[in-house]
Amino acid sequence: MNIILLGPPGAGKGTQARHLVEARDMIQLSTGDMLREARTSGTEMGRVVADVMDRGELVTDEIVIGLIREKLVGNRAGGFIFDGFPRTLPQADALAELLAATGEKLDAVIEMQVDDAALVARITGRFTCGDCGEVYHDVTHRPAVEGVCDKCGGTNMKRRADDNEDSLRQRLMEYYKKTSPLIGYYYAKGQLRTVDGLAEIEDVQKAIAAILD
Ligand code: AP5
């Protein structure tokens, strides 16, 4: 089963993708994570990517499509969760072509609906485990033991450089200009499903499970 999690920054895409990896043996393909890895590579491409991400703008279609293309080769386990990809219509067309080339299809596009006002609090309170990537929040989702990851026991908690209000506003602008047209695109294809992304994390998990089952 191959699915897209679609929604603005802070909608909860990464949180839900990590749950699906554990619960359904799916593979999370987060272009944000891939680009954060690329920016630490010390290459010219890494420097360009870092600059663009810190401004809250979108990296070029060419770069992100190339990253996804590499990952679609090989192990498919329980299928792919596309997290943060596609973000533009050319990316959506490229994904359809890449899947068709391997005889695969997209099973569902799940739009996580949230209120913009909730996103500032979500983004500015977010931190993640630097060892396993588990996502936490200062208020809504703290580890059981302060500073220690519930999942792996790591103590290397990190905050993202672009998790500030200015960058969030730019990221939201990019979302409404370039990514939100995908909602109509997938609706027209009959693939769009929606969940209430403002619900409790476990309730969002249940709503997504109901769609996938
Ligand atoms: P990316 O890393 O994809 O960031 P994003 O889309 O902005 O999304 P986030 O990761 O910020 O949020 P999320 O929806 O995963 O929320 P999360 O689960 O963490 O992209 C970063 C940058 O990379 C982009 O700006 C761009 O520059 C570039 N990029 C990436 N992909 C690209 C592409 N395809 N094309 C071009 N450029 C690309 O949750 C957020 C917080 O809320 C957490 O603290 C969590 O604990 C909390 N939370 C989650 N769910 C709930 C809930 N139900 N209730 C209460 N709190 C919750």
Q: What is the pLDDT of residues 149-165, one digit of tens each?
A: 999 999 999 999 889 98
- pLDDT value at position 76? 80
CB distance 67 to ligand 1 below 6 Å: no
Centre of ligand 1 to C-alpha 1, Å, is 22
With b for 16 or more beta-carbon neighbours within 10 A and e for fewer, the 111-135 pattern comes to bbebeeeebeebbebbbbbeeebbb
| 73: confidence class by pLDDT, cuts 50, 70, 90 | confident
Mean pLDDT of the region 62-81: 91
In DSSP terms, which residues pair with 158 in a beta bridge?
128
Q: Is the CB of 84 under 6 A from ligand 1?
A: yes
Is ligand 1 within 6 A of the CB of residue 208?
Answer: no
User: Which has the closest alpha carbon to 12: 213, 204, 207, 211?
Assistant: 204
Distances (CA, A) of 208 to 99, 107, 163, 182, 202: 22, 13, 26, 19, 10
